[in-house]
Structure 1
Amino acid sequence: MTEPLRLGVLVDCEAKLALLKTAVGQTGQKIEYCALVPSVNDTAGSNTPVLCLDQLDRIRDLDAWLVDIIHAEDDTQQAPGAAILNALLSSSLPVLLNDSSEMGDSPSDKVAWVNRVKTRLQRLLGEVNLQANPAAHEVWVLAASTGGPTALCEFLGELEPNLGLGFLYAQHIEEGYSPALMSMITRAGPYPPVTAGQGSVIQPNAITIVDPARRVQVLENSTLIVHDEPWGGCYQPSIDQLVANLARTHKNRCGMIVFSGMGEDGSASCRFIKQQGGQVWVQAPENCVVDSMPCAVLETECVDLTAEPAELARALNRRLKTKANSIEEQAADESPAIHRI
């Protein structure tokens, strides 16, 4: 799980502050500091302190600023707020600029506006986490259902450490079984398991377990948004939704391996992987406890490799070594020649 953001909130009226506190609270983030800026709005009688420019350096231990102030360059009364905003933008902390002027007056407009702020805060959490945790450049989905955990253990047992890949493990399973999966993966091989948390980073050399109860969205920067809604369709989690999302965001920097399982989940989305230049591998049907999922993917004619789990791992080891050697050779060819006299 990721730590909540420690936010500083800067507004020019109490009404905005109340709405932003609602949005921040609903995303699980924390407001460490909040203040009003000098503006045309009357701040007399407010319980919220008014921030001056010379106070900024004394505000510490924040991860980011959330700012919603009216800025009018031709209004001299806005000058203090403008100066504070410029100082924030030139600092090292991320600044999320919000615009409450886009919010309508009806209750539904306010709800929609709060939801947009929540989405932006979720993305901001991922950006902040990226500063401390580098993201995997290439991401593979490990997809499984009935019989999948045993096959995954065989796969991980042959996988070499430090390949640099990030893995998303999508296992059809009931809510509450994730701790058992984490224990199993920990014993199986060199890739530690982590849970898919709000704003978490898909890290290289780790396996992120996808939540079966809440829909997980992959962003272009390899961070995750966990939505407060279930996966669509009859599968929990939905492999097709996850893989289609990953194909859009990571193009040819992604792949999927379909292990033993019942049903056809993954057969539709594997086409997206192939269209983007990614890899689609499946466990050999004769080696599966239930072969429905691998067979459904094989019928699409999008599969690049079919083998037993241990051989799939060895093939991935070879593939990553070959790619690493190719990158090194390319770098050597592009380096300037050294002439000795």
Structure 2
Amino acid sequence: MKPLALGLLVDSEIKLRQLSSLVIKMGQRVEYSAVLPQYEHSVVPDLDLEDLECIANLDAWLVDITCVENERSSTTEVLSVLLATVDVPVLLSDSSEVETDGTSLLQWSDRLCARLQRLVGEVNLASNTPANMVWVLAASTGGPQPVREFLHALPTGLGVGFLYAQHIDQEYCGSLVTMLGKNASYLGVAPEQGAVIKPDTVTIMDPARRAELQDNATLVVYDEPWGGRYKPSIDQLLANLASTQKERGGVIIFSGMGLDGAASCRLIKQQRGQVWVQEPTTCVVDSMPQAALATDCVDFTGTPKELAANFVQHINHINAMKEAVSS
């Protein structure tokens, strides 16, 4: 995914170095930077044509200037003009409030990195249409084949994006992408920082890197492992889905060994989401579907083709109700 072109506006060279380092660490690009004079009534240098061209192509601004009480100071005036005139996001920070000890600086850095991660998704939303609904396809042992069968039986245009959580070693993720690539209807993609979950796509969750879905249907990907025993953690992903998507979310639990996903099925139902499972008698290993059924939260059970057929009816019914309300 193309890195963001960011503009940095600061009031010291130290801040410029700090923020530039963070931006590069996050895999983004500093396209333009300016250090404003700290003394009052100073004049900001005129921008030349090259500066103006860079600014015109920015995806967002990252601003870190010390707040001042004098509303006529040059830094305040520049910030006021920036906020009033730009049509791209402006991320404000004030590192002057951070103490100089290592712990405080690290906490500030972590907070700013998290905000930058979310900013990537917000910028990507400007040029990408997110899915109306997001469902998780959850599986372990014996899961890839029924998941593929389910996707093959679906038509496009339902407005749904899928997150595929398959217990698998990281080196085999490419095989899943290849497998889904044989299905022309739904595109298999890898999770990327700030990626928008689009309709008719299947994002294959990385077992080595934890990811979270935001309420605007964008992803935040962390350089840290999933919690718990299973990779990726279906329970963790479903808890996240329940929190951010609520009734717009759902899960289908396919063949698999273990109990992963069962605990968070209750969270999905509490938020009025849907919980479906593959018919246990058609699974290579039925532990995961049986564990989900034991929660009494399951709304539908069927073979992969039956799941697909009912899924189409379910989504079409929801879309028809939305159209009736809006008309």
TM-score, scaled to structure 1? 0.90
Distance 2:176 2:46 in 1: 51
Task: Kindly provide the amino acid, as one letter, of the partner of residue 107 in structure 2.
Answer: A
Aligned: 1:84 with 2:78: yes
Residue among 27, 32, 45 paired with 1:52: 45
Distance 1:93 1:325 in 2: 35
Task: Kindly provide the amino acid, as one letter, of the partner of residue 45 in structure 2.
Answer: C
Greater shift, 272-281 or 67-76, is seen at 67-76
Q: Once the two structures are superposed, what CA deviation does each residue of 1:270-324 show, in whole Å capped at 9, x if it has no partner?
A: 0000000000000010000010100110110100001001110000011112222
CA contact (8 A) 1:23 1:115 kept: no
Alignment CA distance shift 1:51-1:127 (3 Å):
farther
| Secondary structure of 2:202 counterpart | strand
| Secondary structure of 1:132 counterpart | coil
Task: Kindly provide the amino acid, as one letter, of the partner of residue 65 in structure 1.
Answer: W
Distance 1:295 1:178 in 2: 26
RMSD: 1.8
Any gaps of 5 or more consecutive residues in structure 1?
44-49, 333-341
CA contact (8 A) 1:159 1:189 kept: no
| Secondary structure of 1:167 counterpart | strand
| Secondary structure of 2:262 counterpart | coil
Q: Once the two structures are superposed, what CA deviation does each residue of 1:175-231 show, in whole Å capped at 9, x if it has no partner?
A: 122221111112135111111101111111211111110000111111111111000
Task: Kindly provide the amino acid, as one letter, of the partner of residue 309 in structure 1.
Answer: P
| Secondary structure of 1:251 counterpart | helix
Hey, what does 2:19 align to over in structure 1?
Answer: 20
Any gaps of 5 or more consecutive residues in structure 2?
none
Q: Once the two structures are superposed, what CA deviation does each residue of 1:45-95 show, in whole Å capped at 9, x if it has no partner?
A: xxxxx953656745332111111012324264x2x2222212221211211
Residue among 127, 130, 135 paired with 2:125: 130
| Secondary structure of 1:193 counterpart | strand
Aligned: 1:179 with 2:191: no
CA contact (8 A) 1:20 1:114 kept: no
Between the aligned residues of both structures, percent identity stands at: 51
Aligned: 1:31 with 2:30: yes
Hey, what does 1:279 align to over in structure 2?
Answer: 274
Distance 2:97 2:291 in 1: 47
Distance 2:182 2:321 in 1: 33
Hey, what does 1:232 align to over in structure 2?
Answer: 227
Aligned: 1:103 with 2:101: no
Q: CA deviation at 1:102?
A: 2.9
Alignment CA distance shift 1:158-1:326 (3 Å):
same
CA contact (8 A) 2:7 2:32 kept: yes
Greater shift, 185-194 or 109-118, is seen at 185-194
Question: Radius of gyration: which is bigger?
Answer: 1
Q: CA deviation at 1:137?
A: 2.3
How many residue pairs get matched?
322
| Secondary structure of 1:188 counterpart | coil
Hey, what does 1:315 align to over in structure 2?
Answer: 310
Hey, what does 1:72 align to over in structure 2?
Answer: 68
CA contact (8 A) 2:257 2:287 kept: yes
TM-score, scaled to structure 2? 0.94
Hey, what does 1:270 align to over in structure 2?
Answer: 265
Distance 2:322 2:34 in 1: 51
Residue among 170, 173, 179 paired with 2:165: 170
| Secondary structure of 2:314 counterpart | helix
Alignment CA distance shift 1:305-1:75 (3 Å):
closer
Task: Kindly provide the amino acid, as one letter, of the partner of residue 142 in structure 2.
Answer: G
CA contact (8 A) 1:53 1:83 kept: no
CA contact (8 A) 1:218 1:225 kept: yes
